[in-house]
Amino acid sequence: MPDLFTLDKKVVAVIGAGSGIGEAVALGAAGQGAAFVSCLDVNDAAASRVAADIARAGGRSSAATLDIAADGAVASALAAIVGAHGRLDAVVCTPAINVRKPILAYTGDEFDRVVRVNLRGNFNVLQAAGRIMTAQKSGSIVLFSSIRSLVTEPGQSVYAMSKAGILQLVKTAATEWAMQGVRVNAVGPGVIETPLTAQIKNNKDWYDAYARKSPMQRWGQASEMVGPTLFLLSDAASYVTGTIIYADGGWLAADGRFNPPGM
C-alpha cells in the first residue's frame, strides 16, 4: 500500500535542514512527494543549499534563517509558510547542542545554553506548530529526542536531561491535541554520524567503542533517520501519537556484556 507512506500534497517544514539528519529528512520528504519543503536553519547558506538541491531534483522548496531559541522567531517562520501555502501539514525539528563535561565542572552559562536550545527551542517549535495545527485540525510534529532519554554516560548530564524532557513534551502535547487531529511524536537516534558527533569521530578509540556497543557494530548514518521520521509524518502513522521510535541499531537492546562462548 504505497500511498500510505506518501507525503503527496503535504507542506512540510524541516528545522535544522542545513546539515546532518535535518538535511537528510528535507531531501527525503521532497523525494517522498511533499508538495513543498521549507528548509529552516540557523545557517542560511546551508539551508539555501539544501533547498536548491531539492529544486534541482524537481521539488518545490525555499529556505529561511531560523534560530529556534530566539523568542518569537519560530512562530514568525511558520506563520510565513502558512501565509504562502495556506496550511502546514508537518514539522520536523532536529537541532540540538551538547557540552560534554562532568557535572562538577559544568558552569551555569553552559547549562543555560544547552537547555535554551534543546528544551526552550523545541518548546518554541512545539508551541508554534501546535497553534497552527490545532486551528486547522490536522498535522504531524516530530521532535528529535535520543537514546540519552533513557541511558546516559559520564559527561552527558544536561544533554540527557534535555532529551528526556523533549520526550515528555511530546507525550504531553500528544495528549492535549489528539482531539484536534494533531499527532506529536519523537525519533530517538542512537549514535549517528553528524556534525554534532564530529568530536567523537575524530577520536578513533572513542568512535570504535561506540561502534562496538551497538549489536550492528557500526554507527548510524543521517540517511537512516529518514524512514522513521517520514513514517511518523505520513498517513501510515495515523494512529501513532505520543510515542518515540528509537532508531539506534539495537543500542538499547544490549547491556554491553561480551558474547558467551559458543554464541
Q: Per the domain annotation, does 262 fall within a domain?
A: no
Q: Which of 260, 191, 263 is nearest to 221 (CA)?
A: 191
For residue range 99-132, list pLDDT tens digits in order.
999 999 999 999 999 999 999 999 999 999 999 9
Tally of structural domains, the chain? 1
Check pLDDT > 70 for residue 262. Answer: no
HSE-CB at 103 with a 13 A cutoff on CA atoms is: 7
- The whole-angstrom separation of Cα 53 and Cα 102 is 41
Question: In this structure, what C-alpha cell is assigned to residue 113?
Answer: 545554553
Question: Whole domain around residue 170: which residue ranges?
Answer: 2-248
Q: Per the domain annotation, does 188 fall within a domain?
A: yes
Q: Per the domain annotation, does 51 fall within a domain?
A: yes
Contact 190, 251 (CB under 8 A): yes
Q: Which of 106, 159, 207, 246 is catalytic?
A: 159
Mean pLDDT score of the chain: 95
Q: Per the domain annotation, does 43 fall within a domain?
A: yes
**255 vs 185, residue with greater confidence:** 185
Q: Which of 172, 115, 149, 176 is nearest to 246 (CA)?
A: 149
b/e code 242-256 from CB counts within 10 Å (16+ = b) = bebbbbbbebeeeee
**Domain CATH for 28:** 3.40.50.720
Query: Has 246 been annotated as catalytic?
Result: no
Q: Per the domain annotation, does 259 fall within a domain?
A: no
Q: Per the domain annotation, does 42 fall within a domain?
A: yes
Q: Per the domain annotation, does 260 fall within a domain?
A: no
Q: Which residues contact 177 (CB under 8 A, 6 or more apart)?
A: 130, 133, 134, 184
pTM (predicted TM-score):
0.95
For residue range 231-247, list pLDDT tens digits in order.
999 999 999 999 999 99
Contact 185, 244 (CB under 8 A): yes
Q: Per the domain annotation, does 215 fall within a domain?
A: yes
